[in-house]
Chains A and B, each alone.
Chain A
Amino acid sequence: MTRRPASRAVPLLLGAALVIGAGVVTAVTGPEASLLDPFTVGAADDGTATARTLAAEVTEVTRTERVTVAGSEWEAEGDWLVIELAVSAPTTEEDAAIGVASLLVDGRLFQASERPPATLVGTDLRVGTDTVGMVAFELPADLRSGTAELRLSGRYPTPELDDVIVFPIDLADAATASAVEIEEPRLGAP
């Protein structure tokens, strides 16, 4: 008894379909770490983003080649992006602070520079009153355009399954200045 060619092809086709199916399932399954990614919170219409432990607004973005700090001899040259923020605590002042400020550009993750003696990172925040301060990012000289993501998290290190505030920042649109003086964080308008 001879089998028809069509019936001989069935197991081959089935096998191929199973292999392709397995490949598709593997491709669409996210990495294990993505199950624990933080939740991103964007800005509302008024420019303020409110996460579980932080409420923040970007007030000024400046690119500069020289940063100084008020009342300090420290200064540095390079390619800097200085971001001024108004931040407050939405519900409680306990442990309310920016734990990590990072900038995601072009797949590279920068952290707010530890070099300037004045920074908003780690400053105690108040409920109902903005704390205005600056974070500075030191970037490579070749990074002059593109869209960056400013990420603020209320804890250190960046938490899992908790809020992280994300602001889009256009590097090409940022104001430029020959020098920027970084000020100590101060209490702003309530």
Chain B
Amino acid sequence: MAAGVRDAAAGATRTALSRRALPFWIVAAAIIGLLAGFIGFGGLAPASRTPAIVTAGDEARTSLYTVTVLDTEITDAVESQFLEAEPGETLLLVTVRLENLSDRAVGVDRSADRVESRMITGREPLLELSGVTPTGTARSWRADESRPAVILQPGVPADVTIAWPISDDDAAAFDEGTVRLDAYDAVEQSGQVILSASTITWRRSELSAQLDLEAAP
């Protein structure tokens, strides 16, 4: 009886190690290898859609541009741009360094040649304040105060000041440090615009980073 069991066990071992079973072992090894790789590279880690929190002075990188907050200021008027806050409102000026990572020149608040970017204007701007609601459209100019209608050349960083009108009450909230600059990622889309088939549009996708704004002392 015991001998019969032994024979059966030996037979099973022979079958398992025989040449005909080789493909099975190869497939099994491949599956184990794949699973190990999947787990090893973080396949089981929980998917995270939490945007990165970036402190002032550090760079936030999206797939089409980078943004770094350099300076934040609250003021009532910017003489060089003939800009003045309405009564009951104040201006939040954020100076950022922007770099265009795409391979075509884009505009900050209006379109450049054949590229619609809408970084700070429109219904879905790529750079948006969170914690306060702007009371009007944002405006931008170069920090060296050359001209408005800033164009970002590919690979050339530019220091740009963006002005948002906000209500005086919100300006108080700003002092508490709850206001952030949301940087959204974008994808380049072409051929779906009324203007022309060859126009590229930067369409906003998910929130990529939240940049801290610090009030100037």
Contact = CB atoms under 8 A, between A and B. Distances in A.
B61 interface: no
Interface of A: 32-33, 36-37, 74, 76, 78, 100, 102, 107-111, 113-117, 137-140, 142-143, 156-158, 160
B132 interface: no
A115 B142 contact: yes
Given A76-B144, A102-B113, 5 more contacts: A37-B198, A74-B144, A114-B150, A140-B156, A157-B199
B105 interface: yes
Most buried by A among B154, B190, B197: B154
Interface of B is mostly: loop
Nearest to A110: B153
B156 A139 contact: yes
B151 A113 contact: yes
B103 interface: yes
Nearest to A78: B156
Contacts of A36: 196-198
Given A32-B197, A139-B153, A158 B113 contact: yes
Given A32-B197, A114-B147, A138 B104 contact: no
B147 A117 contact: yes
Contacts of B142: 115
Most buried by A among B112, B153, B198, B199: B153
A33 B114 CA distance: 12
28 contacts: A36-B198, A37-B198, A74-B146, A76-B144, A78-B156, A109-B104, A109-B105, A110-B153, A111-B105, A111-B113, A111-B153, A113-B151, A114-B146, A114-B151, A115-B144, A115-B146, A115-B147, A117-B146, A138-B156, A139-B155, A140-B154, A157-B111, A157-B113, A157-B196, A157-B199, A158-B114, A160-B196, A160-B197
B114 A157 contact: yes
A109 B114 CA distance: 11
Contact of A102 (B105, B144, B149): B105
A115 B103 CA distance: 20
Contacts of B114: 157-158
A118 to B, nearest CB: 11
B138 to A, nearest CB: 18
Given A76-B144, A102-B113, A114-B150, A108 B198 contact: no
Nearest to B142: A115
Contacts of A114: 146-147, 149-151
B191 interface: yes
Nearest to A151: B113
A108 B155 contact: yes
A158 B146 CA distance: 25
Contacts of A110: 105, 153-154
Nearest to B155: A140
A116 B197 CA distance: 31
Contacts of B149: 114
Contacts of A76: 144, 146
Contacts of A139: 153, 155-156
B202 to A, nearest CB: 15
Interface in B133-162: 142, 144, 146-147, 149-151, 153-156
Most buried by B among A74, A111, A115, A158: A111
Contacts of A115: 142, 144, 146-147
Nearest to A156: B113
